Amino acid sequence: MEISPGVVAYRQTHGILLLRKLGMIVERLLGQSPPSALLADHPGIVAIRNLLGLPYEFRVASTYARKRGIAVQAIDQSEISLLKLRQVEERLISRQHLKRIAASPGAAAPDNAHRYELARQLLTSPDARLRSAFLQGCRGEEGIGPRDRHLAAKIRSLAQSQPGHLVHIGGWVHLLDDPDGETLYSLLSDLQPRRLLLDPDHPVSP
């Protein structure tokens, strides 16, 4: 899975303590002023909870694998992800910051329909220029490039050392056929991997 071992360990231990701290601060704020009345369900608070908890896809995959005796391995790089999590602790989980969230309107919910439509279009488009233009904004240390090479090396090693089928769960951008050959899919193209976009309304298998 596209999650790092360090992040899994952090969220399973320290993340639980931070969630408790977050809950305690929210409870205190809830009893203070009317603007905080809906703070527990504020999108900003929900986003912090999601950052500290194990991702939905990891929990579902782990439950599925455990019932069937299948191994799940976290193979992403830890350094960048752990740095971001520590910044959550330092900058976001404080009474002052949460009071600012309470006084602010909630951000609009992400447009998942638009995101899936973009993913379907780019995954199925034969226009290499269109994919290349989109990927230009995704390259760099935290995006397409070194991270995809790390993931590709891990997947290739697992594919060579373990029999049977290998499934990788991660972000859809890594599935794009990159004219520059830097995405995870492009780096593993010799293995002829099957790509599947898990869009609940319109599953896509390019």
Predicted confidence (pLDDT) per residue in 32-74, tens digit: 654 444 566 778 888 888 888 888 899 999 999 999 999 999 9
Per-residue model confidence (pLDDT) at position 30:
72
Percent of the chain with pLDDT over 70: 89
Per-residue model confidence (pLDDT) at position 170:
93
Contact 175, 6 (CB under 8 A): no
pTM: predicted TM-score of the whole model, two decimal places = 0.80
The pair of structure tokens assigned to 24 is 């305690």
**Same domain flag for 20 and 98:** yes
The span from the CA of 42 to the CA of 45, in Å, is 5
In a domain, 200, yes or no: no
Cα of 121 vs its chain's centroid, Å: 21
pLDDT band for position 105 (cuts 50, 70, 90): low
The span from the CA of 49 to the CA of 98, in Å, is 12
Q: Which of 45, 77, 103 is the last residue of a domain?
A: 103
Per-residue model confidence (pLDDT) at position 194:
93
The pair of structure tokens assigned to 22 is 């977050």
- 80 contacts: CB under 8 Å, gap ≥ 6: 141, 142
**Same domain flag for 35 and 14:** yes
Q: How many helices (H) and strands (E) does the chain have?
A: 10, 0
Q: Which of 45, 74, 103 is the last residue of a domain?
A: 103
In a domain, 204, yes or no: no
In a domain, 197, yes or no: no
In a domain, 203, yes or no: no
In a domain, 146, yes or no: yes
Percent of the chain with pLDDT over 90: 42
Residue identified by tokens 């995870």 is 184
Contact 86, 97 (CB under 8 A): no
**Same domain flag for 99 and 137:** no
**Same domain flag for 21 and 62:** yes
